[in-house]
Structure 1
């Protein structure tokens, strides 16, 4: 399978403080030398706690944020240099479903207008044709037909997210970037939305860059997974391998902290101290790690390839 989207050594910095002359004197580094890819027809799961860089990485892939360093490639070409038809083709084929459907849907548009907005912009459909396309899309995501004439505030959270998904698939993209698409929904609705993503992938063969803080969700939808921490990718591999046999101490923490559905209790947590303290150099997980060594403070965090093509950024595997 060909690499559909790829990030090459992407770093993203945000200025947080400037001097009188407008020069940056303090910055937040959201992404640090991140290299990942998504192949055609596969799902890459992205997990990690809040603030690890998941959403920033998604925005660079969507070209909503420009990387400070590195590049984003679509079908092998740097999107920075795409012009005209090539850039339009990239934008048509890389769509998004955001976390909060209420915030991503235009409150002044009816359902049929929302799901066909991309079609209206890119193709010469008349109103009658757009309404027919909207009807097909509404049925595709299992929404009632009255959603066509409804405004977002008249729909439930799950229905609004289905509407957002219909809008994303309207252009039949090659890749959908889904940024925690179930986290704002009731637990009873989350499984329905996950199943909808799986059904659409089976029908259209599209790829997903699927962000979630829920391990069970990632396990259900992903072929491969990356684990992020403080802007770094600390582990990468097949989903079943990473979750069943985590290598990086942080991944082990995530797995050990996952609730056990059968009894509603959490597993024993391995690490519980100095959660927010980060060293000035080396591994950012140093102060939370029970396997830490002094050498970890000078480790350069480059992923190390281990068995079955898995990668882990940890001194223990160097």
Structure 2
């Protein structure tokens, strides 16, 4: 097989949004892109440089800065798929998405790496999100976050018997905004998944199916139904002991009639609603002394975001290597 060796100096920049998965009842199938972006710059280097990773912002000093970095590993996977390689690589990352908080930081890294691979190898061709969803799903292990990061907006991911993982994206009602309450401490996704039961009651599964369907309607056409539509019986209560502060805050917000959910596997809490409806949550977050449940959380207003954005510079002519 002929391998395309990319020339030195080829560059690309990738913007990937934060994402919130599950949204209450949409366990492992619904995802929402947020206007909260990590930016990645990549440049091909000569062989003497190998892999250079520079990280600013979230994760700096903690994330790997060599071949173990998730963006680099995903980029190499993308290059392999496209039949290409690089002698050396510089990756500069400006992270704003909190790590380990249920906001899709790992999905953002995976999508950034795959999109960078496409931009480096095929800079004159548009990046087609659907073409890369199966690879992103394989790397992440579940499709909801990566699908939202790829497509933007509200995404429903599913597995087709014939075609594997697929996703459909739709616009969110323009009146809907969000508020993310981010805790001081992270929680590993593996821990959050380990506490889930192997089986659930049929009535709970049926109730969740109804609310997940209602949630799609609420998010796209009927914001007044968001509180009812975000009720969940499959995962949030089971995860409560692993994130007691988040679950206490979730309970306090829902007692106020707010459409609050655990974001992804947690421990961040996402509140959805019209801007005026979110003011109560903001007030609670601003006064942790009066509202113990909000202690240790910072409030971040968000809107619905778009999908990954890819920009590539015009390359020099590549050469082939056997």
Common fold: TM-score over 0.5 = no
Q: Choose between structure 1 and 2: higher strand proportion.
A: 2
Structure scoring higher RCO (CA < 8 A, sep ≥ 6) equals 2
TM-score (norm. length: structure 2): 0.29
